[in-house]
């Protein structure tokens, strides 16, 4: 439901189930929320938000003692300004709180390292602060652009026990959160082409036994920088939806070329070096951060604006860190298998 604030068309309030976006690295989903958007003087746009997310209880059933993620409160403010036709910048602050401790201790594991999962039977207070910028400039080669995002997180998470990938026991049930994420994009648009270099670093946790969470944590997001590790066209069959891998963070370097064959056909090719921010322990006693080098391509065709026909393929020359994700019988400290991914879809938007 949308409401125009009296006396101005520059202020809108929306209530109920709706798309919510504070920052695409932290929280973007459909959620129950109250959102106030508008414009201030001097060219500032703002968003004020209170929201609750979708429940993800491990049991699948809410109770009065344990309402899960849908019992968490989330408060956010976004400020953005276009300083010139070439430069825009903004900042956001997101405060999230939950008090759902029931009998016993909740759990969170390395594979489900998201705040929406921790919310089940927990108490937390988490702050995320970020700044963003987007700069573009015409040059003799084409339009050059630079984009950047920096986010810091802090807070506490109580009433849960962390279970690392190797299953080792963590004796703690209360954790201090201190993390950061940085992302930069440098690109050039020339003719029907766009060449983009992207670097992303999300902090990871190097000690699975202490009372600190040093790994950046998202609430609910949908990332597809890598077709191998993140969401892809077969969106029910992917390893992660987050800008990090497990609780070990992510250090990604990606070079992508997009070429418009026609106004409604785009072909893309990419090379992605996938690396963890922190070492992961391997079966032979060694450790590694190297997930491998990924080669990918995709094509998108829009016969009509609302109809998309797409296909993609990717190949991962696996690094040794992939050994930790293999079946136990195959783990020997070295990666045994490369990965091939091929997918296609037909999508119609109403």
Structure tokens at 191: 């003719």
Assess contact for 322 and 305: CB atoms under 8 A.
no
Q: Is the whole model's pTM more than 0.85, yes or no?
A: yes
Residue 57: per-residue pLDDT: 46
Residue 53: per-residue pLDDT: 66
183 CB-side CA count, 13 A? 23
Residue 120: per-residue pLDDT: 66
Q: Name which of 259, 267, 263 is nearest 303 in CA terms.
A: 263
Other Cβ atoms within 10 Å of 55 Cβ, number: 17
d(CA 69, CA 67): 7
Residue 109: per-residue pLDDT: 87
Residue 144: per-residue pLDDT: 97
Mean pLDDT in consecutive groups of 10 residues from the start of the chain, 350 residues = 58 90 94 91 90 57 48 91 94 91 74 84 91 97 97 94 86 94 98 98 93 94 92 76 95 98 97 97 91 97 95 96 88 88 91
d(CA 25, CA 32): 19
d(CA 162, CA 176): 12
Assess contact for 312 and 297: CB atoms under 8 A.
yes
d(CA 190, CA 272): 22
Residue 54: per-residue pLDDT: 52
Other Cβ atoms within 10 Å of 284 Cβ, number: 12
In the chain the first and final C-alpha atoms are separated, in Å, by 18
Residue 315: per-residue pLDDT: 97
């Amino acid at each position: 439901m949308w409401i125009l604030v009296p006396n101005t068309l520059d202020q809108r309030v929306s209530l109920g189930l709706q798309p919510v976006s504070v920052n695409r690295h932290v929280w973007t989903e459909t959620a129950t929320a109250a959102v106030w958007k508008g414009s201030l003087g001097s060219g500032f746009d703002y968003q004020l938000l209170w929201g609750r997310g979708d429940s993800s209880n491990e049991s699948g059933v809410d109770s009065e003692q344990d309402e899960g993620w849908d019992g968490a409160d989330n408060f956010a403010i976004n400020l953005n300004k276009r300083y010139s036709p070439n430069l825009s910048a903004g900042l956001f602050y997101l405060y999230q709180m939950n008090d759902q401790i029931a009998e016993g201790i909740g759990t969170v594991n390395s594979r489900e390292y998201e705040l929406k999962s921790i919310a089940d039977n927990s108490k937390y207070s988490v702050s995320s602060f970020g700044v963003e910028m987007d700069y573009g400039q015409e040059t003799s080669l084409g339009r050059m652009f630079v984009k950047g995002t920096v986010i810091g997180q802090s807070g506490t998470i109580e009433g849960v026990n962390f279970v690392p990938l190797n299953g080792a026991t963590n004796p703690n049930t209360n954790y201090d959160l201190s993390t950061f994420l940085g992302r930069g994009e440098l690109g050039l648009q020339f003719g029907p082409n766009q060449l983009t270099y992207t670097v992303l670093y999300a902090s990871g946790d190097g000690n699975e036994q202490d009372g600190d969470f040093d790994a950046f944590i998202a609430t609910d997001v949908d990332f597809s920088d890598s077709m191998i590790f993140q969401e892809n066209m077969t969106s029910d069959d992917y390893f992660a939806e987050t800008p990090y891998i497990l609780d070990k963070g992510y250090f990604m370097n990606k070079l992508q070329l997009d070429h418009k064959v026609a106004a409604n056909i785009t072909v893309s090719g990419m090379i992605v070096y996938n690396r963890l921010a922190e070492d992961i322990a391997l079966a032979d006693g060694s450790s590694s951060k190297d997930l491998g080098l990924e080669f990918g391509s995709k094509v998108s065709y829009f016969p009509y604006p609302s109809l998309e026909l797409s296909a993609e393929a990717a190949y991962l020359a696996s690094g040794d860190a992939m050994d930790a994700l293999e079946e136990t019988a195959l783990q020997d400290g070295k990666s045994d298998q490369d990965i091939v991914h091929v997918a296609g879809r037909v999508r119609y938007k109403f």
